[in-house]
Amino acid sequence: MGSISRAVDPESYTIGYAMEAKRKGSFIQPSFLDAASRRGMRFVAIDMSRPLAEQGPFDIIVHKIYDHAWRAHLEAFSALHPGVPVVDPPAAIDRVLDRFTMLDAVVSGLSHLVSVPKQIVVRDAADLLSDAQIGGLRFPLIAKPEEVDGSAASHDLCLVYRAEGLRGIHTPVVLQEFVNHGGALFKVYVVGGSATCVRRSSLPDVPESRLRDADAPAAVPFAYISNQPLPDKDGGVVEVEMPPAEFVDEVARELRRALGLNLINFDLIRGNDGKYFVLDINYCPAYSKVPGFEQILTDFFWEMLNARNGQEPQV
């Protein structure tokens, strides 16, 4: 049975969501639900213990679940209701669940705008000590688990200052050259056609002397590195200029198009030479950290509902 198209009804729109409990808290917040309800949108938690095809009806499904059982449920539902948008398609999400391949879209389609730090993937622990494998990279390196699966282990990153620091690193791992960037990171939150850039403190620059300091640890987990902005010579905090809004919008638009994803954020830095780099891409991030996220998400889902029904977006 196919989905039934209907005009936008301000009284009743049901959006089903499937997310782990920890993700719900940063997305499905009361302030957002209130904003959505004023547009006639109701968000309903999908019961993961029941087949999705037996639930609903839904006008949109939004999800951040990666296991095979959920994918099977989603495929069965989409076969019955092909007109119900799924935010976002699992095949597209797969592209950003591997830290090595997630940046392929940047390399292939956005190289005229931004760069990617040099990186390799190492899947055999023995290769971590091989000059043939690692010799082409310059220290310091960021060591990241290759797979992004939502677990705490997948966020266990460390900064490696010299070769001996690679001992004990778990594989498979992505080794990415660290780019000095003045201790400032720009997180760009993308929701459909909207992009919001937020400045965050980042890892401080690494001086050459630190790489030669044999008495200092050869590798340090991110959790133990200060993320405070560097003070200037007078003891104050250095003010970092935000990237131009037009530039951020263009990068976000092109990356969204290349990935086929509506809900992402990406980490952007500006090297000390002024060159921009994309370091990482995440699917369906914690939007509650974005100022005004309630209206941004509400507008996005409203536009999807109107597009599904062949209508012009309304306010």
Q: Is residue 206 annotated as involved in ligand binding?
A: no
Write out the residue range of the structural domain in which residue 190 sits.
Answer: 96-283
Q: Is residue 64 annotated as involved in ligand binding?
A: yes
Q: Is residue 230 annotated as involved in ligand binding?
A: no
CATH of the domain at 21: 3.40.50.11370
**Which carries the bigger pLDDT value, residue 23 or residue 268?**
268
* Beta carbons of 2 and 304 less than 8 angstroms apart: no
Q: Is residue 96 annotated as involved in ligand binding?
A: no
Whether residue 77 is found in the same domain as residue 121: no
Residue 299 lies in a domain: no
Q: Is residue 262 annotated as involved in ligand binding?
A: no
Whether residue 72 is found in the same domain as residue 103: no
Residue 35 lies in a domain: yes
* Beta carbons of 42 and 36 less than 8 angstroms apart: yes
- Among candidates 304, 281, 289, which has minimal Cα distance to 84? 304
- Number of structural domains in the chain: 2
Q: Is residue 81 annotated as involved in ligand binding?
A: no
Whether residue 210 is found in the same domain as residue 244: yes
* Beta carbons of 263 and 191 less than 8 angstroms apart: yes
Q: Is residue 108 annotated as involved in ligand binding?
A: no
* pLDDT recorded at residue 12: 84
Q: Is residue 40 annotated as involved in ligand binding?
A: no
Q: Is residue 179 annotated as involved in ligand binding?
A: yes
Q: Is residue 187 annotated as involved in ligand binding?
A: yes
Give pLDDT tens digits for 2-37: 443 444 445 589 999 999 888 888 889 999 999 999
**Which carries the bigger pLDDT value, residue 228 or residue 245?**
245
- Among candidates 183, 193, 181, 184, which has minimal Cα distance to 264? 193
Q: Is residue 202 annotated as involved in ligand binding?
A: yes
Residue at a domain's end among 88, 122, 154: 88
Residue 254 has pLDDT above 50, yes or no: yes
Q: Is residue 99 annotated as involved in ligand binding?
A: yes
Q: Is residue 144 annotated as involved in ligand binding?
A: yes
Q: Is residue 186 annotated as involved in ligand binding?
A: yes
This prediction has a pTM of 0.90
Q: Is residue 58 annotated as involved in ligand binding?
A: no
Q: Is residue 184 annotated as involved in ligand binding?
A: yes
Whether residue 46 is found in the same domain as residue 177: no
Distance between CA 216 and CA 3 in Å, rounded?
Answer: 62
Residue 268 has pLDDT above 90, yes or no: yes
Residue 307 lies in a domain: no
Q: Is residue 222 annotated as involved in ligand binding?
A: no
Residue 310 lies in a domain: no
What tokens were used for 187?
Answer: 């997180």
For residue 307, the 8-state DSSP code is: H
Q: Is residue 22 annotated as involved in ligand binding?
A: no
3-class secondary structure per residue, 200-238: EECCCCCCHHHHCCCCCCCEEEHHHCCCCCCECCCCCEC
* pLDDT recorded at residue 226: 56
Residue 97 has pLDDT above 50, yes or no: yes
* pLDDT recorded at residue 43: 97
Residue at a domain's end among 64, 88, 112: 88
CATH of the domain at 238: 3.30.470.20
- Among candidates 130, 112, 110, which has minimal Cα distance to 120? 130
Please report where in the chains the tokens 């919001």 appear, as a residue.
196
Give pLDDT tens digits for 67-90: 899 999 999 999 999 999 999 999
Residue at a domain's end among 61, 88, 115: 88
Residue 80 lies in a domain: yes
What tokens were used for 132?
Answer: 């043939």
